[in-house]
Copies of this chain bind each other. A is one copy, B any other.
Amino acid sequence: MSEMVKPRTLSGFMELLPGDQILFEKIKETLEQTYRSFGFLPLDTPVLEHSEILLAKAGGETEKQIYRFEKGDTDLTMRFDLTVPLAKYVAMNANDLAFPFKRYQIGKVYRGERAQKGRFREFYQADIDIIGDGKLDIRNDAEIPGIINTALTALGIDDFVIRINNRKVLNGLFQAFGIGDKAQDVLRTVDKIDKIGNEKVVEGLVELGVEEKKAASLMELLCAGESTEETLSRLKEYEGENETLKEGLFELEEVLRGMELFGVPKERFEADLTIARGLDYYTGTVYETTIKKHPEIGSVCSGGRYDNLAEFYTSRRLPGVGMSIGLTRLFYILQAQEYLNKGLAGAADALILPMTGEMSEAISLSADLRNRGIDAQVYFEDRKFKHKIAYADKLGIPFCVFLGEDEIRENKISLKKLSTGEQVTVDREEAVRLILEEKDLRKAAKTVIMK
A136 pairs with B67, CB closer than 8 A: no
Question: Which of under 10, 10 to 19, 20 to 34, or 35 or more describes the interface residues of A?
Answer: 35 or more
Whole-angstrom distance from the CB of A45 to the nearest CB of chain B? 6
A122 pairs with B46, CB closer than 8 A: yes
B48 pairs with A8, CB closer than 8 A: no
Whole-angstrom distance from the CB of A108 to the nearest CB of chain B? 6
- Within the assembled complex, what's the spacing in Å between the Cα atoms of A389 and B42? 21
Whole-angstrom distance from the CB of A19 to the nearest CB of chain B? 9
B5 pairs with A49, CB closer than 8 A: no
Choice from B99, B139, B360 contacting A261 with Cβ under 8 Å:
B360
Kindly list chain B residues whose C-beta atoms are within 8 Å of the C-beta of A72: 112
A43 pairs with B56, CB closer than 8 A: no
Kindly list chain B residues whose C-beta atoms are within 8 Å of the C-beta of A21: 41-44
Kindly list chain B residues whose C-beta atoms are within 8 Å of the C-beta of A5: 52-53, 56, 312-313
Task: Say whether A100 faces chain B, with CB atoms less than 8 Å apart.
Answer: yes
Whole-angstrom distance from the CB of A239 to the nearest CB of chain B? 23
Choice from B43, B67, B110, B363 contacting A18 with Cβ under 8 Å:
B43
Whole-angstrom distance from the CB of A280 to the nearest CB of chain B? 13
B139 pairs with A359, CB closer than 8 A: yes
Task: Say whether A291 faces chain B, with CB atoms less than 8 Å apart.
Answer: no
- Within the assembled complex, what's the spacing in Å between the Cα atoms of A92 and B5? 11
A367 pairs with B132, CB closer than 8 A: no
Task: Say whether A233 faces chain B, with CB atoms less than 8 Å apart.
Answer: no
Given contacts A39-B395, A261-B363, 10 further A-B contacts (CB under 8 A): A5-B52, A5-B312, A15-B44, A15-B89, A22-B42, A37-B370, A99-B391, A137-B381, A143-B378, A262-B363
